[in-house]
Amino acid sequence: MTRRQFALPERRVDTPPDDTGCTVLHVDMDAFYASATLLAHPHLVGTPVIVGGGTRGVVLSATYEARRFGVTSAMPMGRARRLCPQATVLRPDHDLYAAISAGVMETFRSVTPVVEPLSLDEAFLDVSGALRRLGGPATIGRHIRDTVHDEQGITCSVGVAPTKVVAKLASTLAKPDGMVVVPRDEVVPFVQQLPVGALWGVGERTEEALVRLGLRTVADIAHTPRSTLERALGTATGRHLHELSWGRDPRPVEREQRERSIGSDETFAADLDDAVLVRRRLLAVSERTAGRMRAARTTGRTVTIRVRFSDFTTITRSRTLPEPTDSGRTLHATATALFDGLGLQRARIRLVGVRVSGLVPLEQAPVQGVIGEPEHGWRDAERAADRARARFGAGVVRPASLIEPVTSTSVRRPGDLS
């Protein structure tokens, strides 16, 4: 059974769904990375597009037109190209994604402070405190969809339900660019019509175990003794799935928790053994990491580099700074010092990454100094570059050392065409 076979119980077409008590919303951007990337390529809207690239890369996202050919996120690019050879391949723009995500989350917080992000492009909202101000849950859902489209230029789908798990299932049914309300008295028939694999938390192995038991729909799970499920799947999983099969999910929407770390890494199109080129790529990932920190309005003290060699051996090294920072210049200086301290001689390197932990909200951070600069200078320049990239695209401003002609030895960013 596919998503398009899911349905709500029959009701009169002219009768709106009863959203009383449906105060949990799950909002999910539609093909987020692909939709955001297409903002700079409007002539490709409605065509198969894959975001990703590189000879060893994977698909970050794909438009619905490409998905019809079987292209999915995390699929190797080689396979994606074979499935959909007519697709246009575009490279990712992570700075743009962070900026749009920040705008979307700000829209959510303007509705309710009780926002639980799951990723850059989806979140749960508890709108119970906003009903008097903004209207019923369905009205709020429409307001969010309209605002995201008007302000960010992308679409989202909304699930409205009494619980988190049902709201998430409803938003999946609503895709793309729709909204589904599951009234309280329709929760059980809605959930029990689904295939077992649709339940949140059921991965491939659990689904295989359920099918071996002859359980193919959620209704099958619901009418199986809980003791049987616990023996086959384990006590916790069996109990959890039995509760979900009846639409029961007591978990509240939890207020946004700040990330514990922010980082970026890069897998090279070909292994590198030139330390100069590796340092240059450390600059690129340091700049991306710092941009994401500034978009999240956070700073950090502990800088960690990750180096993966051609045999997939991976090492990390860390250093804690005297004060928190969000400066790409400072991150790069620290990352370079950590890399140089490894003393590598012609080692073949497959990947480098930079991650910052010990995060502190920007408003709580002391006034930052940046290595080798006066009171104002690089910090102001980096923030001005952020504004330019948000308006004109990620490639409009970059360090001079990252501007180079494409040659057989040039290093490509993730997503560059091979």
Q: What is the DSSP string of 341-381?
A: TT--SS--EEEEEEEEES-EEGGGSPPP--TT--SSSHHHH
Decide if 165 contacts 200 (C-beta within 8 A): yes
Decide if 177 contacts 157 (C-beta within 8 A): yes
Query: Which candidate, 137, 170, 142, places its Cα nearest to that of 155?
Result: 142
- Was 126 annotated as part of a binding site? no
Distance, in Å, from the CA atom of 192 to the CA atom of 288, rounded to the nearest integer, reads 44
Beta-strand ranges (E) seen in 216-359 are: 261-272, 298-309, 314-325, 349-357
Distance, in Å, from the CA atom of 209 to the CA atom of 205, rounded to the nearest integer, reads 6
> Any idea which residues carry the catalytic annotation?
122
- Was 28 annotated as part of a binding site? yes
**Which sign, positive or negative, has the C-alpha torsion 382, 383, 384, 385?**
positive
Q: How many degrees, rounded to 5, is the angle at CA 391 between CA 387 and CA 392? A: 115
Query: Which candidate, 39, 133, 34, places its Cα nearest to that of 84?
Result: 34
**Which amino acids are annotated as binding site, given as ranges?**
28, 121
| Residues contributing to the annotated binding site for Mg(2+) | 28, 121
